[in-house]
Structure 1
Amino acid sequence: MKDFLKMDGVDPHALAEKLTRSGVEIASTVHPMDGLSKLVVGHILTCEKIEGTHLNKTTVDVGEDEPRQIVCGAPNVAAGQDVIVALPGAHLPGGKIKKGKIRGVQSDGMICGLQELGFADGVVPPKYADGIWVFHDPDLKAGMPVFEALGMDDYVLDFDITPNRADTSSMEGAAFEVGALIDQKPKIEEVSVQADGPDWTGDFTAVADEKIAPKYYLRKVTGVKIGESPLWLQRRLWNANIRPINNVVDATNYVMLLTGQPMHAYDARMFADTKKIEVRLAKEGEKLELLNEKLIDLDPQDIVITDGEKPFGLAGVMGGFNSEVKDDTTDVILEAAIFDPALTRKAALRHDNRTDASALFEKGINWDATQKSIDICSLLLKENADATIDEGTLKATDTVKAEKVITTTASRTNKILGTDLSMDQIVEIFHKLNFGITTNGDEYTVTVPNRRWDIFIDADLFEEVGRIYGYDNIKSTHPETGELAGGYTEEETKVRHLRNLVEGQGLSETINYSLTSEEMATTFVKKPLAKVMVNWPLNSARTTMRQNLICSLLDTAAYNFARKQNELQIFENGRVYDMEGGDYHEHEHLAAMYVGLAGQSNWQHQDEKIDFYYVKGQLEDLLEMAGVKADVEYKAEAIKGMHPTRTAAIYIDGKYVGLIGQIAPILTMTDKNFLGKEIYVYELNLDEILPLMNKGVKSKPAPKYPAVERDLSILVDQDVTDASVEAEIKDNAGKYLVQVDVIDVYEGAHLPKGKKSLAYRLTFLNEKDTLTDAVVTKAMDQVQAALEEKLSATIR
């Protein structure tokens, strides 16, 4: 930033706060050397192998009267090197350095790699990734602190850039933004290239389709000597979280940081036969090996760079492996272009290969920076790689983009923002932004430079005025509209009540993606409907809108099981999606999952393992507390993904409203985290449940008269369900029956084959009078007769 603006006296933390308040969030403000001390440049005088070990005994000049003896195990340590030395007492991220002996040899300090200073592995140059850092700067002297040389003495502001402000992805764009806030005009230098090589454009051809590459420029440099970039360039790259590679690749990355224009460097030998570069869409069946050695099958919608015959790069994403700059490369063709953002984004997603370049192309590029970027890159190679710049820029396409001109008024600006700014104040704000502006009475016209491609309409101008004026300076006022009564709709109130009830049962709420795999979308669904597919899924596990919530709960369970959280009682309330009759539909659902024990293990009680009946009891309690008075029936049915004998469909008044049961073990066998676990679930269609919920629960006093209980034991066929027995009891027991409970179930010895014994407790109550034995006996006789007649039951 100091290259563009006068930053003396600007507090970095205050600047970060100001930027965040203006709409460009600063994720962090870091001073890399904080917490580090006593790190100096050392010059290795001697280096001897310690016999029988991988260690070396060195003597190092650290600017003191006498050199220090330091033991070092790095494979690249050698005499004559300038290195980083941590003196005794130095503080490093890994701890404090002390004097000591290593393998019996005295060591007075430590020779460091960049990682030991806190550098991430991903930014350390490959040559030094497994060893110590070696300086190649003749201006460095033994004993000097290393922080300035390594770029650790400056503040680093991390811009958390949103897609609408991709212009701040470049240093020049960030300089314009900061300059507007501190009232300075950035010093952006013009670039002039004096070629010192022959004109190459006559012997080379560049062809591009304007629709997919509206701008495509090439320059050629020759006589390149591949090596390390100068330290100033490397430190700027690693402070921007980019790994230095060599002086050619580093130059392209530096230009991308500087101007926001992605660059690519091709080994010119790849085009020696055809002397041609053609930008086109890929052909069916073509393949390409990328720089990361990933072999991809190209899609007809991929933009590729070819030599006129075969592909050498995936445009806007990554170059091909065969075209990369190698150690023996001497001639380089530089590319600066603008590619179709939609096709670039889709190619990066399609091949799971998002890069810094693809991110920039898909969000937008400054159309006016193409020539400047390719010229700067050429100059960097001339300066740092002894390159010769050949005459001429080859332009396959060169579409001109006109600057946006927007006219609006000061009165409308103030009305929208709630401000009272004068025209002079508005003009001053646009001057700070370096936008052209003319005025005519209350009207003003702004010419937006191409570096701000996020501005299209007058509302965008109002946002700029509000940002630079300061949102904190806009006075708070009440809206002049009529008041709107807040609150929830009746359906929202019922849904929130259900969630509160489930939480009251001890379950934890989860929130999951509405996207799942095509297979899981219709699993756990009694009657699957047409699937709602995503055109451009993030991955194969997120291709389809879910038709059930259980698939999402399984994802949550897998995440927890992998982290040894094996006792789960969770639920989710959300939407499911389907297509029926050509129309898309959304439905409100509620699902719960139970795994493990019913309660926390404790010495005071015996553990209760969750099973089908426990979950069914929880569901029955929920429906009762929600005020659902209708008859609920559970029928054994086969549903995809559910256990064949531990699953029931739930019906209310004959209408299917959900399911309850155990997840089929075959579904969980492929994941070791699920092995041995019984997972029980239920799912309800709230579109059917909500209309059945009564408003509130009314309390009433305890009955004045006592209830009468009678036990009934019957013998029935094994296929007779409890629901059918209870239905007969309720239909024939009369108006005083208030409760029916199953108190015993027995199958096995001492019973006829194919039979089971069921025992029930019937509770009778007359709230207005005392029940007599005669009334209760008559009711019991009617129940017994009905059971014998309808279910062929034997009364025991």
Structure 2
Amino acid sequence: MFVSYKWLAEYVDLSGVTPDELAEKITRSGIEVEGVDVLNEGMKGVVIGHVVEKEPHPDADKLNKCQVDLGNDEIVQIICGAKNVDKGQKVAVATVGAVLPGNFKIKKAKLRGEVSHGMICSLQELGFEAKLVAKEYSEGIFVFPSDAEVGADALQQLNLDDAVLELGLTPNRADALSMLGVAHEVAAILNRDVKYPEISYVSTAEKASDAVKIKVEASEDNPLYVAKVIKNVTIAPSPLWMQSRLMAAGIRPHNNVVDITNYVLIEYGQPLHSFDYDRFGSREILVRRANDGEKIKTLDDQERTLTTDHLVITNGTEPVALAGVMGGANSEVQSDTKTVLLESALFNGQRIRTASKDHGLRSEASARYEKGVDPKRVHAAAERAAQLISLYAGGEVLEGSVEVQSATFEPAVVKTTVNKINRVLGMDISAEEIKAIFERLGFGVETDNSVITVTVPTRRGDITIEEDLVEEVARLYGYDNIPTTLPVGQAIPGKLTDYQEKRRKVRRYLEGSGLYQAITYSLTSEGKAAKYALEASELTKLALPMSEERSVLRLSLLPHLLDALKYNLARQMDQVALYEIGSVFLSEGKDQQPLEKERLSAAVTGLWHSHSWQAEKKPVDFYVVKGIVDGLVDLLGLTNQIQYKQANRAGMHPGRTAELFLGDKLIGFIGQVHPTAQKELDLTETYVFELSLVDLLTATVEETRFEIIPRFPSISRDIALVVDKNVVVGDIEQIITEAGGKLLKDVSVFDLYEGDRLEEGKKSVAFSLRYFDPERTLTDEEVTKTHEKVLNAVEEKLGATLRG
């Protein structure tokens, strides 16, 4: 809804409140103002000029040389290319030094040898949208009425000295789809009164009931229909102030009668339609459902086929309007129209929505019917339109109206209590203040002790229950005035559990490591479900699957992550690193709900480091992914509890796969996808891991202990051990650590050799051992004694020898 600030000021006193301040107050009261558009922002120097003379440009076929009076006896020459410029016109002139939208500055110029002191402007050049400009001025300059004052500010005459507030309305606030509705809202916010337009006109002795009869067959779809008849109208352009207000509201001007119906639509929120009485085809209005296959040609010259779901206005035989959506071309008000049949009606919103959707016709009228209009304004809007047609089209309004009403419309009565309002809001608002808020809103209020009975006007159809009243009090009292209190209770609401907090840390760590989060389907196919599963389980099948591809619950996250890698690689994304935290579903037996366990999986392929100017590119390998897992384990404080063991798993590379153990419990695996599986999926070398997240996050973490910074030096010894090729390095390291005792603080591998200088079936593994005592300086004898224990242990248990 676009709301003109100047127009709104006619209904409620806005003195002392700027458009921006008003926008802030409306937003704080519950209706979001999405923007404030100052129409003349940055513009200046545009006046009304009078074209005194016009002659063709001597050296250009499409240009005219105009002599323009700018007032105060100042006549300047302006070269204009508009087709419709002519002598005697009052036009908008951007003088030399003027600034137009887009910071376009007007300077003195020469066009084909002729001097031009300014520019005669079209409405588009003054900032109006092309779709809002009346057809006669859509391809040329704008012409002011002949009584326009020469030299006056053209921007002011076009109502561009205005600001337009754009309201972002929720569907329940249909009342704010009108200027009067917004006026009531603003009046409540500012605690001021609403001033309605005064309606008065002189009607003729002839009665409207003698000119037209109404029959409504579809009374549920049309509980109220009002018609008025206005004779001897003169079709002409509507007043400039009305045109500019309609354009500010986003509506294109047409002629005085059509513009008046649109003006009242915006003013009252009540859609109206004007028929040419002489083209209507009869003196009877029949409102009914359309016949299946019946056709109507609407105002946009499109022939539309109707169904029995559509409501139509007919002349007794053929449709003349698609009710609430668009009129028919056969009864359109045209330049020769003399008598207007004016419709103001209440239609069922769902019926209008159906027709609008079926025919792809979305109009200002249909939008309001769909959300609900105020039944009490149906008559008032018709009278207001009759007044304006009488005033600006010279019409003679026949006495009275013709109407059919099949339902009554009573205001809603809703009760609440002071205690209820304060309990819900957590506030302490007095009964007097609550009553004052409802009175500011224009509601009827009665109090009986703490019980408040509110009579809600029909314009506020969104208020039907007690909670609606609580909301009205809250937003008018001010959400900013709700007191701040600390929560009281056993637990602080909203605090993350320890598990949730750790899981959030895991996500942040993985994303910081360069992995992107993926979310894949929990449903998969039977062929994929058991692949890469950490635990064996029967499959949990859906009773009525949508497809075979989504027929069972997954046992592993990896199959779909690999599908995601395949999808990206097929689209030239050759560096992909994804992770997912999600549930797998382990069967608990037939007719039992499966057990959900949270898993963490990742799949990485391509380059880990791109080829930059100062370093070589580095493809992903086992140790890159292991490094990610090591960092995660360290983050969770489980470094000393996790062990890697070489493993063979289905679908994984036999020499590049390890299982992870937390103590003695298997909690995951890591490694390269088997080359055969990579080939089947068209993947490059891909590394994955899947971990039991619930085991990692619920594991007991050892207490953090701090040590004094060492004061004494350590002693390092390097050894190269020759062992059988099938001996696992981890086993060697474990034996060394156990034999080294308290003095051995660190063991690390720094070399592996397999070559022709060793016996067949042997390998050499080099370790660096660091000995240290925090209480004293170690002697060579002590280190040698411990070191020999290490050498004896590896020799006895593994048959290892020192490499010479």
User: 2: distance between equivalents of 1:602 and 1:70?
Assistant: 62
Task: Summarize deviations over 1:299-339 as a string: whole Å, max 9, x none.
Answer: 76555555667666554444556665455555544433333
Gap change, CA 1:67 and 1:168, over 3 Å in 2: same
- In the other structure, the counterpart of 1:106 is 115
1:521 touches 1:531 (CA, 8 Å); kept in 2?
Answer: no
1:602 matched to 2:609? The reply is no
Give 2:94's aligned residue. 86
Report if the CA contact (8 A) 2:287-2:311 is conserved.
no
Report the CA distance shift for 1:315/1:689 in structure 2 as closer, same or farther (over 3 A). Answer: farther
Q: Deviations for 1:117-175, whole angstroms, at most 9, x for unmatched residues? A: 2223332223222322111x343211111122111223433333333333122111111
- Tell me which amino acid in the other structure corresponds to 2:272: M
Pairing of 1:21-60 with structure 2 (within 5 A): 21-50=28-57, 51-60=59-68
Aligned residue in 2 for 1:153? 161
Residues 1:435 and 2:443 are matched in the alignment = yes
Q: 1:405 aligns with which of 398, 406, 413?
A: 413
Q: What residue number does 1:453 align with? A: 461
User: Is residue 227 from structure 1 mapped to residue 236 from structure 2 by the alignment?
Assistant: yes
Q: Match of 2:471?
A: 463
2:34–2:166: 8 Å Cα contact kept in structure 1?
yes
Residue 263 (structure 2) pairs with residue 254 (structure 1) = yes
Change (3 A) 1:195 1:44: same
Match of 1:199 in 2: 208
Closer, same or farther in 2 for the Cα pair 1:278/1:133, shift >3 Å? same
The 8 Å contact of residues 660 and 683 in structure 1, kept in 2 or not, is answered as yes
Higher mean C-alpha displacement, 236-245 vs 192-201:
192-201
3-state DSSP class of the match of 1:86?
strand
Q: Which residue of 2 aligns with 1:188?
A: 196
Query: 1:492: Cα distance to partner?
Result: 3.1
Shift of 1:236: 0.9
Partner of 1:134: 143
Per-residue CA deviation, residues 595-624 of structure 1 (Å, 9 max, x unaligned), is 99755663224556x899999889978987
For the 8 Å contact 1:13–1:29, the answer to whether it is kept is yes
Please state how far the C-alpha of 1:20 moved relative to its aligned partner.
2.6
1:549–1:576: 8 Å Cα contact kept in structure 2? no
The 1:483–1:729 alpha-carbon spacing in structure 2 relative to 1, beyond 3 Å, is closer
Report the Cα offset of residue 58 of structure 1: 1.0
What SS is found at the alignment partner of 2:98? strand
SS of 1:407's equivalent in the other structure is: strand
CA distance in 1, matches of 2:386, 2:453: 38
Partner of 2:222: 213
Q: CA deviation at 1:398?
A: 4.0
Whether the 8 Å CA contact 1:570–1:592 is kept in 2: the answer is yes
Of the three residues 166, 169, 185, the one matched with 2:174 is 166
Counterpart amino acid of 1:158? Answer: E
The DSSP-based 3-state class of the residue aligned with 1:367 is coil
Match of 2:10 in 1: 3
Structure 1 CA distance, aligned partners of 2:524 and 2:308?
Answer: 32
Secondary structure at the aligned position of 2:172 is classed as: helix
Q: CA deviation at 1:739?
A: 13
Give yes or no for contact 2:11–2:196 (8 Å, CA) kept in 1.
yes
Q: Which residue of 1 is the match for residue 501 of structure 2?
A: 493
Query: In 2, are the aligned partners of 1:166 and 1:363 still within 8 Å (CA)?
Result: yes
2:173 aligned counterpart, secondary structure:
helix
How much does 1:2 deviate? 2.5
How far did residue 681 of structure 1 move?
11
Structure 1: runs of 5+ lacking an equivalent: 534-547, 638-649, 663-676, 714-725, 744-759, 780-796
Question: CA contact under 8 A between 1:594 and 1:615: conserved in structure 2?
Answer: no
Identity %: 34
Range moving further from structure 2, 2-11 or 698-707: 698-707
Q: 1:177 aligns with which of 185, 191, 194?
A: 185
| SS of match in other structure, 2:54 | strand
Instruction: After TM superposition, give the deviation of residue 258 of structure 1 in Å.
Output: 0.6
1:417 Cα offset (Å): 4.2
Check if 1:18 corresponds to 2:28. Answer: no
CA distance in structure 2 between the partners assigned to 1:680 and 1:86 by the alignment:
69
Output aligned runs, 1:563-712, within 5 Å.
598-599=608-609, 602-606=612-616, 690=694, 695=699
CA shift, 1:70, in A, is: 0.6
Tell me by how many angstroms 1:440 deviates: 2.9
CA contact (8 A) 1:435 1:448 kept: yes
The change in CA–CA distance for 1:32 and 1:499 in structure 2 (over 3 A counts) is same
From 63, 68, 76, give the equivalent of 2:76: 68
* Alpha-carbon separation, structure 2, partners of 1:521 and 1:305: 52
Judge conservation of contact 1:33–1:152 (CA < 8 Å) in 2: yes
2:492 to 481, 484, 499: 484
In the alignment, what sits opposite 1:505? Answer: 513
Give the secondary-structure state (helix, strand or coil) at the position aligned to 1:499. helix
1:381 aligns with 2:382: no
Contact persistence 1:549–1:591 (CA under 8 A)? no
Task: Flag the 1:282–1:374 CA change in 2: closer, same or farther, 3 A.
Answer: farther
Supply the AA of the counterpart residue of 2:471: E
Q: Is the 8 A contact 2:80 2:119 kept in 1?
A: yes
Root mean square deviation, CA, Å: 5.9
Q: Is the 8 A contact 1:549 1:683 kept in 2?
A: no
TM-score under structure 2 normalisation? Answer: 0.69
Do the aligned partners of 1:499 and 1:573 also contact (CA within 8 Å) in 2? no
2:433 maps to 425
Alignment partner of 1:148: what SS?
A: helix
Distance in 2 of aligned mates of 1:163 and 1:310 = 34
Deviation at 1:455, TM superposition (A): 1.7
Amino acid at match of 1:96: K
Contact 1:575-1:586 within 8 A present in 2 as well = no
Instruction: Give the conservation status (yes or no) of the 8 Å contact 2:304–2:359.
Output: yes
Q: Deviations over 1:416-458 (max 9, x none)?
A: 4455544443333333222222233333322111112222233
What is the SS of the residue equivalent to 2:155?
coil
SS of equivalent residue, structure 2 residue 34: strand
- Counterparts of 1:634 and 1:61, CA distance in 2: 93
Sort the Cα spacing of 1:417 and 1:100 in 2 relative to 1 into closer, same or farther, 3 A: same
Q: Say if 2:509 and 2:632, in contact at 8 Å, map to a contact too.
A: no
Task: Verify the 8 A CA contact 1:589 1:683 in the aligned structure 2.
Answer: no
Rate the CA distance shift 1:439–1:585 in 2: closer, same or farther, 3 A. farther
Q: 2:29, 2:166 → 1: CA distance?
A: 15
1:253-292 matches, cutoff 5 A = 253-266=262-275, 271-272=280-281, 275-280=284-289, 283=292
Q: In structure 2, what residue type is equivalent to 1:21?
A: R
Q: Tell me, yes or no, if the aligned pair for 2:65 and 2:78 is still in contact at 8 Å.
A: yes
Distance 1:111 1:338 in 2: 46
The match for 1:640 is none
Give the conservation status (yes or no) of the 8 Å contact 2:216–2:288. yes
Contact 2:723–2:799 (CA under 8 A) maintained in structure 1: no
Q: Please say which structure displays the higher CA radius of gyration.
A: 2
Contact 2:208–2:229 (8 Å) recurs in 1: no
Which AA in structure 1 matches 2:252? R
Aligned pair count reads 697
- After superposition, residues 224-373 of structure 1 pair within 5 angstroms as 224-266=233-275, 271-272=280-281, 275-280=284-289, 283=292, 301-305=309-313, 314-319=322-327, 324-327=332-335, 331-345=339-353, 348=356, 353-373=361-381
- Superimposed CA distance per residue, residues 210-254 of structure 1 (whole angstroms, 9 cap, x where no aligned partner): 333333434444555443221111111122222223333322221
2:127 to 106, 118, 121: 118
Any conservation in 1 of the 2:54–2:65 contact (CA below 8 Å)?
Answer: yes
Superposed displacement of residue 111, structure 1: 0.9
Q: CA deviation at 1:403?
A: 0.9
The CA deviation at 1:29 is: 3.6
Instruction: Provide the secondary structure at the position in 1 that maps to 2:367.
Output: helix
